[in-house]
Amino acid sequence: MEIQDSKSTLQVIPRNNEKIKKIWKTAGILLAITVAEFIMAFTMERGLLLYALFIILTIWKAKYIMMEFMHLGDEVKPLFYSIIVPLIFLVWLLIALAKEGTDIFMMRW
Amino acid sequence: MSAHSTAIGVSSKRGTWGGGNEPLKASYGKLMMWFFLLSDIFTFAAFLISYLSIRLSYPAYEGPLDTFIGSNEYWPVPELVFEAVPFLHGFHAPLVFVGIMTFILISSSVTMVLAVEAGHRNDRNDVVKWMLWTMVGGITFLSCQAWEWNHFIHGTDAGSIMTYINSLSREVTETVFGANLVVNEYGPPAFAQLFFFITGFHGFHVTIGVVLLFLAFYQAAVGVYDRRGHYEMIEKIGLYWHFVDLVWVFVFTLFYLI
């Protein structure tokens, strides 16, 4: 068996600074949102408004991770929807179990 | 180009029905990784929504925060449970350590995306460099989690007085330190159980991720991907690694903030 050449035969494309800048920008946004959540946890009163804001900010972060880091936005539309649409089931699970939890609370206390 | 208006990348050699085509214009591996991640999203979502449900079934702590004591009568306030930092014993630093962990995991996700970007450019040196940084981030995160678990299990100096049914089915009232699956000093038993299961399952995913990262790092370093002609494996492992970060974002919000 011949010894394989470890030198690259692939053409190395030079860095595209525009793209790399965009990655760092997304990272900055994610970090900024996390810091904002952190500050809100200590300055705002605990309650439905704060929890709603936390969940909105979390979904916003999730959007950045999926679109920018996982490049889901660059995939073809059918693939995009086949990942996003099934998540609708989770909305139902969330409503059903939130109601279940509240009802158990009512029975216990 | 009409061939590109459909969602199937048609091979020029074999045509539509000759095999080797890529449905949804993603390679087999990438497509399967996406569908695996979708199923994993459901698993984690089931865990987290169950957490929410069980939490709603207990009363919330309503007294003043500075006189909080753990009790299995109400759900604890997370920022008063997760408030320890390594090397600073007895120092009250709510959520600081978990904030650092989040920062580490997001950073490792950034270095992963830089590795994927380098892979698109066939730049072996950059891929190896960024994979190494990602691995460092992953291992640091796991170490932090090990410390956090250790602290959670051993508990605070004071502990809390709990009345509970022990493993011998007897009702006892005693000072409880730390946490196990029967009783914990912070809140109802379900609190520690869910903590162990959810962060444990996530930590298990991170562990698998680090192993995969190491394999890809090694293969990139010895030139396997150069000989193969593409760096797609980096992309696939990148998808998995970002998913781990994605889950942590939700765990962070639901477990530590709310």
More confidently predicted of B14 and B251: B251
Residue-wise pLDDT for B12-51, tens only, equals 777 777 777 777 888 888 999 999 999 999 999 999 999 9
SS3 label, residue A76: coil
Q: Are B226 and B68 in contact (CB under 8 A)?
A: no
Q: Show me where the domains of chain B are located.
A: 27-257
A contacts of B31 (beta carbons < 8 Å): 79
Average pLDDT over residues B123-138: 95
Domain ranges, ordered by start, for chain A: 20-74, 76-109
**A1 to chain B, closest Cα gap in Å:** 15
The model carries a pTM of 0.88
Predicted pLDDT of residue A2 = 46
User: What average pLDDT does chain A have?
Assistant: 87
Nearest CB to B253: which of A13, A58, A69?
A: A58
Contact state of A75 with B26 under an 8 Å Cβ cutoff: yes
H helix intervals, chain A? 17-43, 48-64, 77-84, 88-108
For all residues of chain B together, what is the average pLDDT? 88
Cβ contacts below 8 Å, chain A against chain B, sum to: 151
Could B121 and A15 be called an inter-chain contact, meaning their C-beta atoms sit closer than 8 Å? yes
For testing contact with chain A, the best of B39, B52, B106, B128 (most A CBs within 10 A): B106
Task: Give residue-wise pLDDT tens across range A18-28.
Answer: 889 999 999 99
The answer to whether B166 touches B180, Cβ cutoff 8 Å, is: no
Instruction: Tell me whether residues B103 and A31 touch, CB distance under 8 A.
Output: yes
Structure confidence at residue A7 as a pLDDT band (50, 70, 90): low
Locate the chain B residue with the closest alpha carbon to A25.
B110
Nearest to A8 among B113, B126, B226 (CB): B226
Given pLDDT bands bounded at 50, 70 and 90, which one contains residue B3? very low
Domain B27-257 has CATH 3.40.50.300: no
Q: B110 to chain A: which residues are within 8 Å by CB? A: 23-24, 27, 69
